[in-house]
Amino acid sequence: MKPMNFTRRRVLVTGASSGLGLEMARQLANRDQADLVLVARRLDRLNELKAELEGSTGIHCQVIAADLSKPQDVDRVFAEASAAGEIYGVILNAGVTHFGKHLDMEWSGFESMLATNVTSVVRLVNLFTPYLISQGREGGIMLVSSMAGLLPLPFQAAYAGTKAFITNFAQSLSEELRGEPVSVTVFSPGGIDTDMTRSSKLNYFENTSLLQDATSCARDGLAAMQSRQVIHVPGRLNRAQLFATRLTPRRLITRIAGVTYRKALKAGEAGQGKTA
């Protein structure tokens, strides 16, 4: 297949109201002049982004407010997006995490994470993949995973588990679809410098090389999707760390990550205590 061309094509982005999804939407609009289907929970933020992008670029944005932890909302996203015009690309970016001890996580929180990070993604893939194949336009789907899906991550144990599923699911599906007019890309960034990171206990890593800026991360992800890579880890440091783990016992990798994230957790809890 030829590389994807987003220009004047409709691209759906979930989790578009903030962070990586927001930056991808802006780049697709400003650089590629792509028309967008913006999906997130917060309607006010989606409408603000719609006004911003339509006003500055002349593209068209469809807004769909949806909670992807709810099956009925997931199905509605597909129905409304596909009814409004032909979809060429699908970026499944929405996700949630829990930073802390796994046993401190409420069961309802885990169920919501599983529904958002895994079930909604698989459901949307199951809906959009046959649709894209039937269009015959050589479209593509990108699943945003994480390096947490490639390596153990203590204190984000459930999140790492969901991303491991997404990583293996996407790579496996990509091979199953060989020869079909659709590509599947899994994008696996490390930490990203976003408002969510800065306002959480993960702000321990702020202003360090462990966080990639959202602009370059979004650019890397869109380039990987455009070139139809099966899996892409952005950032030289991330790729170097991943390569080093091939030579290191997995138990030691887990231990090092645990020590680092335990410090971040304690620092975050101390900071919250001072604020209270």
Type of residue found at 19: G
CA 220 to chain centre: 13
Q: What is the dihedral of CA 54, 89, 198, 231, to 10 degrees?
A: -150
CA 195 to chain centre: 15
DSSP per position, 246-265:
TTS-HHHHHHHHHHHHHHHH
Quick one: angle between helices 157-176 and 107-114, nearest 10?
Answer: 20
Q: Exposure pattern of 224-244 as b/e (b: 16+ CB <10 Å)?
A: bbbebbebbbbbeebeebbee
The residues carrying an active-site annotation are 159
Which residues are within 8 A (CB) of 39 and not within 5 positions of it... i.e. 6 or more apart?
Answer: 12, 13, 14, 15, 16, 46, 64, 65, 66, 68, 77, 81, 94
Q: Exposure pattern of 165-190 as b/e (b: 16+ CB <10 Å)?
A: bbbebbbebbeebeeeebbbbbbbbb
Q: How far is CA 180 from CA 17, 90, 135, in A?
A: 32, 16, 11
Q: What is the dihedral of CA 84, 86, 88, 92, to 10 degrees?
A: 30
Helix (H/G/I), strand (E/B), else coil: 61: strand
Whole-number Å distance between alpha carbons of 69 and 55: 31
